[in-house]
Amino acid sequence: MVEVKVQSLGLDRNSSTPVVILQELDGSRVLPIWIGPSEASAIAMELAGMKFSRPLTHDLFASVIMGLGGSLQRVMITKVVENTYYAELIIQRGSELLSVDARPSDSIAIALRMDASIFTTDDLLEHTSIEVTDASDETPELEDPGEEQQDKPLGKLSPEELREYLRRMNPEDFGRFNP
């Protein structure tokens, strides 16, 4: 497992979808994960140090973990299947370790609140294997091998084109996300 940190939040200009960019601690590889607006807001608010008088959902979940005598040891982003990323919350309660299935976006928001480490696999950092088309959806071929892929919607890229797009992508390629 490779430890990562939240490098930034962005907004995919092609789909107007929030993206959290995770970067390995001791390197430059990044893992972009497209997330929902409410989860992006929860992450952005915690990164900005915004506190509220009443707990928001991720604050509440952190309080429940602590209230039950547990601590969040780490978050592990484990795989991606059919465009869906999977994560686990590893919670310690006494001598017992519990693994709880969760969405990466929620896991990241909770990890930030509980000061827990975030990990992913070397494989996800190297080869983000995302299925981008349905069997019923015909993906048009690129007419020219040098065609700029940024002009093509991400959902219309073949898996190989998407891998190349992600490999060349810089966090600056995204618009800034404002909660």
pLDDT, position 145: 32
CA distances to 28, 30, 158 from 152, in Å: 26, 22, 11
Query: What contacts 170, CB < 8 A, 6 or more positions away?
Result: none
Q: Average pLDDT, whole number, for the chain?
A: 79
Antiparallel, parallel or unpaired: β 70-81 and 117-120: parallel
Helix H or strand E encompassing 84: strand 84-93
Task: Please compute the mean of the pLDDT values over residues 113-133 and round it to a whole number.
Answer: 76
Residue bearing tokens 């990323």: 85
All domains of the chain in start order, with CATH: 2-130 (3.10.690.10)
The predicted-structure confidence for 110-121, as pLDDT tens digits, reads as follows: 999 999 999 999
pTM, to two decimals: 0.73
The predicted-structure confidence for 18-68, as pLDDT tens digits, reads as follows: 999 999 999 888 999 999 999 999 999 999 888 888 999 999 999 999 999
Written as six digits, the tokens of 88 are: 């686990």
